[in-house]
Amino acid sequence: MRRPILAGNWKMNTCRESARALASALAEQVPASRDDVEVIVCPPAVYLETVLAAASGSGLQVGGQNSSDQEPGAFTGETACEMLTDLGCSSVIIGHSERRQFYGECDSVVNSKTKKALASGLKAIVCVGELLDQREAGKTKAVLESQMTGSLADLSVEDMANVVIAYEPVWAIGTGKVASNEQAEEAHACLRTWLEGRFNSDVAAATRILYGGSVKPDNAAGLLSQPNVDGALVGGASLKPELFIPIIDAGAATVA
Ligand code: PGA
C-alpha cells in the first residue's frame, strides 16, 4: 500500500504572517500520530523557518521548492540542500515546470539536483509533465519517458526509496484546466511501467506518483481514487486551509 502524499507548493506566495497562519491551521489537522497520509508544505525559502516553527510538534512536513546541486559556497542566491536539512526540512521539489520553463532547468540539471538532494538525506519530489502542444501531437508518453530517463539518470534502486514523482501536465498548472481522471491515470500508469522497466517491479509498486495541475476540492476525490494516483501536488488551492484540508481528506478517504 502506498501512503498518499498531499503536498502544497506555495510558490512565491504568502507573507510571514500568512505563512505562519496557514502552517498553524494545517498543523492542527496533522497531529504527529497521523499515519494515513503524509502532508508536506513547501513555502518560499525565506519563510521556511517560520513555517517549521508553526509545524513543530505536529506531523506536518516542510519542504523546499528548489535547491542547489552544489555544496555550500559561492553561489549567490542559491539554497543548499544542507541548509534545508539543517532547518529540519524533509523534502524538496525538483524540476517543477516553472523552474524548467522560466529558469532553464533541463533534465540534466534536474538530475544533478535530485542526486544532491538524495545525498543530503532529503526526499526528492521530481516533477515531469508535457506541454499542451506535445499532448496534442500525441507525444505525451515519449515526453514523459524522456524526462524520466534524463531526470533519474544514474539513480539506484536504493535511491528510489526517497524519490517521489509528480506528474504535472503543464497545460493544467494554474489554468483551471484539470486533466480528466482517465488522462491522469493513463499518464501515471505509463510512468509506473517506465519505473518497472528502468528499475524493477518493487520500485514500480512502491514509488508514489502524485498528480498536480489545478487540483481543487471538487476534483480531488476523482483524481486521488485512480489506482496509480498516490497523492497530489497542489499549487493555488494549497494556499487556503478551507481548500487544502478537503484535499487532504480526499487523500485520506482513499486509504480508509
Ligand atoms: P496549481 O499548481 O494547483 O495551481 O495548478 C500546481 C503546481 O504547480 O504544482
pLDDT for res 213 = 96
- Ligand 1 atom closest to 175 (CA): 5
Active site residues: 96, 168
- Ligand 1 atom closest to 166 (CA): 9
pLDDT for res 158 = 98
> What is the domain-level CATH number for residue 97?
3.20.20.70
Asked if residues 127 and 233 have their Cβ atoms less than 8 Å apart, the reply is yes
In the predicted structure, residue 196 carries a pLDDT above the cut 90: yes
Give how many domains the chain has, as a whole number: 1
Q: How does pLDDT run across 30-75, given as a tens digit for each residue? A: 999 999 999 999 999 999 999 999 999 999 999 999 999 999 999 9
Q: How does pLDDT run across 111-127, given as a tens digit for each residue? A: 999 999 999 999 999 99
pLDDT for res 66 = 98
- Tell me the C-alpha to C-alpha distance, in Å, between residue 82 and each of 7, 49, 108, 224: 21, 14, 21, 33
Band (pLDDT 50/70/90 cuts) for residue 174 is: confident
pLDDT for res 138 = 97
Find out whether the beta carbon of 127 lies less than 6 Å from any atom of ligand 1: no
Q: How does pLDDT run across 83-114, given as a tens digit for each residue? A: 999 999 999 999 999 999 999 999 999 999 99
In the predicted structure, residue 176 carries a pLDDT above the cut 90: no
3-state SS record for the chain: CCCCEEEEECCCCCCHHHHHHHHHHHHHHCECCCCCCEEEEECCHHHHHHHHHHHCCECCEEEECCCCCCCCCCCCCCCCHHHHHHHCCCEEEECCHHHHHHCCCCHHHHHHHHHHHHHCCCEEEEEECCCHHHHHCCCHHHHHHHHHHHHCCCCCCCHHHHEEEEECCHHHCCCCCCCCHHHHHHHHHHHHHHHHHHCCHHHHHHCCEEEECCCCHHHHHHHHCCCCCCEEEECHHHHCHHHHHHHHHHHHHCCC
Find out whether the beta carbon of 42 lies less than 6 Å from any atom of ligand 1: no
The percentage of residues in the chain with a pLDDT greater than 90, rounded to a whole number, is 97
Ligand 1, residues 128, 132, 173: which to mutate, most atoms within 8 A of Cβ?
173
In the predicted structure, residue 150 carries a pLDDT above the cut 90: yes
Q: How many CB atoms lie within 10 A of CB 184?
A: 27
Residue where the block lists cell 526540512:
89
Find out whether the beta carbon of 214 lies less than 6 Å from any atom of ligand 1: yes
pLDDT for res 143 = 98
pLDDT for res 1 = 83
In the predicted structure, residue 256 carries a pLDDT above the cut 90: no
What is the span of the domain harbouring residue 169?
5-253
Ligand 1, residues 168, 178, 224: which to mutate, most atoms within 8 A of Cβ?
168
| Mean confidence (pLDDT) of the chain | 97
- Tell me the C-alpha to C-alpha distance, in Å, between residue 89 and each of 61, 141, 227, 233, 245: 7, 33, 29, 17, 21
Give the dihedral sign, CA 198/105/214/175.
negative
